[in-house]
Structure 1
Amino acid sequence: MVKLILVRITCPSRRVAEDIADAALEARLAACANLEGPVTSSYRWKGVIEQSFEFILWLKAPEANWEKVNALVDRVHPYDVPAIVAMPLTHVSDSYAAWALENTDT
C-alpha cells in the first residue's frame, strides 16, 4: 500500500491557504485539504519574539508527492520561511486510502 502523509502549513491569511489548497488539488498532489483558524502563533523572527494570527492548512497526500508539495508551497507562499511539515499517517482506512490515491498523481 502507498504511504500517505498529513502536511501542515501555516498561512498568513485564509486566502493564501485557499490558494495553496486549490493549487495542490488542481495539480493532483493532494487528495484533500482542510483549513483551520485563525490561530495565534508565537515565534522568533530576526531575533524578536513575534505574535500573529495565522491559518492552518492541512493536506492529505501520498508520501511520494512530498517534494512537489514542498516546492509548490515555496513557490506560492508569501513567507520567506514557510512552516511546512509532514507527518506519516500510520493508520488509514482502506477505503480512504484508495480514495486518496484515486484522486492524486504520484
Structure 2
Amino acid sequence: MTKLILLRITCPSRRVAEDIADASLETRLAASANIEGPVTSSYRWKGVIEQSFEFILWLKAPEVNWPKLEALVRKHHPYDVPAIVAMPLTHVSDDYAAWAAGNTES
C-alpha cells in the first residue's frame, strides 16, 4: 500500500492556495486538496514580529511525491520561504488509500 502524507502549506491568499491545489491535482502529485481560512498567522520575519491573514492548503499525497510537490509549491508560491511541512498518515482507511493511489502518479 502506498504511504500517504498530509502537506500543510500557508498561502497569502485563497487564489495562491487554489493555484497550487489545481497544479498539484492536474499533475497527479496529490489526490485531494482542502483550503481553510483565513487564519491569523504570527511569525518573525527579518527580526520583526509580523501578523497576517493567510490560507491553509492541505494536500494528501503519496510520500514519494514530496520532492516534486515541494518544487511545485516553490514554483507557484510568492513567499521567499514558504511554510511547506508534511506529516505521515499513520492510519488511513483501505478504501481511501486505494482511491488516493488510483488518483495520483508516483
TM-score normalised by the shorter chain: which range applies?
over 0.9
Q: Does 1:90 align with 2:93?
A: no
The TM-score with structure 2 as length reference comes to 0.99
Q: Does 1:63 align with 2:97?
A: no
1:33 alignment partner AA:
A
The TM-score with structure 1 as length reference comes to 0.99
Alignment of 1:32-71 (within 5 A): 32-71=32-71
Distance (whole Å) between structure 1 residues aligned to residue 42 and residue 49 of structure 2: 7
* Unaligned segments of structure 2, at least 5 residues: none
* Unaligned segments of structure 1, at least 5 residues: none
**What is the number of residues matched between the two proteins?**
106
Distance (whole Å) between structure 1 residues aligned to residue 50 and residue 3 of structure 2: 36
The superposition leaves residues 55-80 of structure 1 with CA deviations (integer Å, 9 ceiling, x where unpaired) of 00000000000000000001110000
Distance (whole Å) between structure 2 residues aligned to residue 18 and residue 27 of structure 1: 14
Distance (whole Å) between structure 1 residues aligned to residue 2 and residue 31 of structure 2: 13
